[in-house]
């Protein structure tokens, strides 16, 4: 098997707050292969966005990567200086953020913002950048790229803002694109358009993507492999089809049973309880207070993520090997 493009090893990110240390990410490991679309699924507070930010070294104080390594194309990003990271961000790894309206600069036209990224990483004239931008905009299906470029973010819809974000993310043809909830907050019809666009970009530009989302429907349709996170830990890693057909971890099973579905008539059964607070994680397995299979052992001992079968792994004592 070839060397993975990205390797996250035992990553721990802690935020020290007035009330104590919040372990936002508590020892997670996963790999992303070349050309793959990996889904990072979890509820809010599970640490999925923080993981995405950490890959780009965007964790701000009071947050801190306290342990672990992030290896991208054979090099450890943790050792990079801020200056070196700036050359990585946008050109080799880029990010699409959840809320395009708050992430775009309101006082610059969309065109200027996109050009800035391209000019930062390429030795070209502004005219060349603008030409390249217009070409990219028409590639993502924008009918009138010139008019679009002259708009300010507030003049276009949320879906169009997200398209501008996507163009900013892919304009330097990065190897890895991290999309953090790219379709949350958009209408289903626009969500479908954006999902199709991301899939098309992946195929045409040979991108590797990490898709961070809470929507199991979105990952089922777009990702090859899925990492399920809960309370700062990875619960299960599995290829998409197997995960949905035969979920291993009790959390994955509960989550899949709890979502109402538009395609079948089955009644969902809710998962009992609430997501634990980041400052006060349960001892042992973080899922044990809500788990139907929990036993005494689960309250004391933390299960490790271990390989199960067919390239799948799960962090549960009761998953059969």
Partner 1 sequence: MQTIPDKNSPDQIRNDALFLGKIPSSPHIEESISVPLLEIRDLTIHFIVHRRVTGPNVVVHAADKVSLFVKRGETLGLVGESGSGKTTVGRGALRLIEPTSGEVFLNGQNILKVHTRKLRDMRRKMQMVFQDPADSLNPRFTCRQTLVDALSHACYGSQDILRKALDLLESVGLNPSDLDKYPHQFSGGQQQRIAIARALAFTPELLILDEPTASLDVSVKTQVTQLLRELQKKFNLSFILISHDLSNVKYMTNRVAVMYLGQIIEIGNTSDIFSKPMHPYTRVLIDSVPVPDPDQKRKRASLIGEIPSATEPPAGCRFHTRCPIRFEICDQKEPHLAKLANGHMVACHLVNSSSE
Residues of this chain that bind partner 1 (CB under 8 A): 43-44, 157, 159-160, 187-193, 195-196, 214-218, 220-221, 240-241, 244-245, 254-256, 258-263, 267-272, 274-275, 290
* Cβ pair 266, 250 in contact under 8 A: no
Nearest distance, CB of residue 220 and partner 1, angstroms? 5
Nearest distance, CB of residue 305 and partner 1, angstroms? 20
DSSP letter for each residue of 192-211: HHHHHHHHHHHHHHT-EEEE
Nearest distance, CB of residue 54 and partner 1, angstroms? 22
Residue nearer to partner 1 on the CB measure, 5 or 216: 216
3-state secondary structure of 23: strand
Nearest distance, CB of residue 95 and partner 1, angstroms? 22
Residue nearer to partner 1 on the CB measure, 74 or 143: 143
> Could you say which DSSP state residue 144 is in?
-
Nearest distance, CB of residue 173 and partner 1, angstroms? 26
Residue nearer to partner 1 on the CB measure, 13 or 37: 37
Q: Which residue has the tokens 């309101």?
A: 106
Nearest distance, CB of residue 186 and partner 1, angstroms? 9
Nearest distance, CB of residue 57 and partner 1, angstroms? 28
DSSP letter for each residue of 248-312: -SHHHHHHHHHS--SSS-PPP-PPPS-PPPTTSPPSSSTTGGG-TT--HHHHHSPPP-EEEETTE
Strand partners, 22: 15
Q: Which two tokens stand for residue 52?
A: 């995405």
Residue nearer to partner 1 on the CB measure, 110 or 129: 110
Q: Which residue has the tokens 């990219």?
A: 136
Nearest distance, CB of residue 280 and partner 1, angstroms? 12
> Secondary structure of the chain: what % helix, strand, coil (to 5)?
35, 25, 40
* Cβ pair 277, 231 in contact under 8 A: no
3-state secondary structure of 137: helix
Residue nearer to partner 1 on the CB measure, 1 or 262: 262
Distances (CA, A) of 72 to 18, 29, 176: 34, 13, 9
Residue nearer to partner 1 on the CB measure, 55 or 167: 167
Q: Which two tokens stand for residue 70?
A: 């992030």
Strand partners, 38: 210, 225
Residue nearer to partner 1 on the CB measure, 9 or 242: 242
Q: Which residue has the tokens 């993507």?
A: 209
* Cβ pair 34, 47 in contact under 8 A: no
Q: How far apart are CA 287 and CA 306, in angstroms?
A: 16
Nearest distance, CB of residue 300 and partner 1, angstroms? 24
Comparing CA positions, the residue from 304, 306, 277 lying closest to residue 289 is 277
Residue nearer to partner 1 on the CB measure, 43 or 69: 43
Residue nearer to partner 1 on the CB measure, 218 or 315: 218
């Amino acid at each position: 098997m070839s060397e993975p493009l990205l390797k996250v090893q035992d990553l721990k990110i802690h935020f020290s707050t007035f009330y104590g240390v919040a372990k936002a990410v508590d020892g997670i490991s996963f790999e992303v292969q070349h050309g793959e679309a990996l889904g990072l699924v979890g509820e809010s507070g599970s640490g999925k966005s923080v993981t995405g930010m950490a890959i780009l070294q965007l964790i701000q104080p009071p947050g801190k990567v306290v342990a672990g390594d992030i290896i991208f194309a054979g090099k450890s990003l943790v050792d990079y200086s801020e200056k070196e990271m700036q050359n990585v961000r946008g050109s080799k790894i880029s990010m699409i953020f959840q809320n395009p309206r708050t992430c775009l600069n309101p006082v610059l036209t969309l065109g200027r913002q996109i050009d800035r990224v391209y000019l930062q990483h390429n030795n070209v004239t502004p005219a060349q950048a603008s030409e390249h931008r217009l070409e990219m905009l028409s590639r993502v299906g924008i009918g009138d790229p010139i008019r679009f470029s002259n708009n300010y973010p507030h003049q276009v819809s949320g879906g169009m803002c997200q398209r501008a974000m996507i163009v900013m993310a892919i304009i330097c043809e990065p190897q890895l694109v991290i999309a953090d909830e790219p379709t949350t907050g958009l209408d289903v019809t626009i969500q479908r358009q954006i999902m199709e666009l991301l899939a098309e970009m992946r195929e045409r530009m040979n991108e590797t993507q990490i898709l961070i989302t809470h929507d199991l429907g979105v990952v089922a349709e777009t990702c090859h492999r899925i990492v399920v996170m809960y309370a700062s830990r990875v619960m299960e890693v599995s290829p998409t089809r197997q995960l949905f057909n035969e979920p291993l971890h009790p959390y994955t099973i509960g989550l899949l049973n709890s979502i109402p579905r538009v395609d079948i008539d089955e009644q969902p059964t809710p998962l009992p309880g609430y997501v634990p607070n980041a400052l006060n994680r349960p001892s042992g397995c973080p899922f044990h207070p809500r788990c139907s299979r929990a036993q005494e052992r689960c309250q004391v001992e933390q299960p490790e993520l271990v390989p199960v079968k067919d390239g799948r792994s799960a962090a549960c004592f009761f998953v059969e090997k």
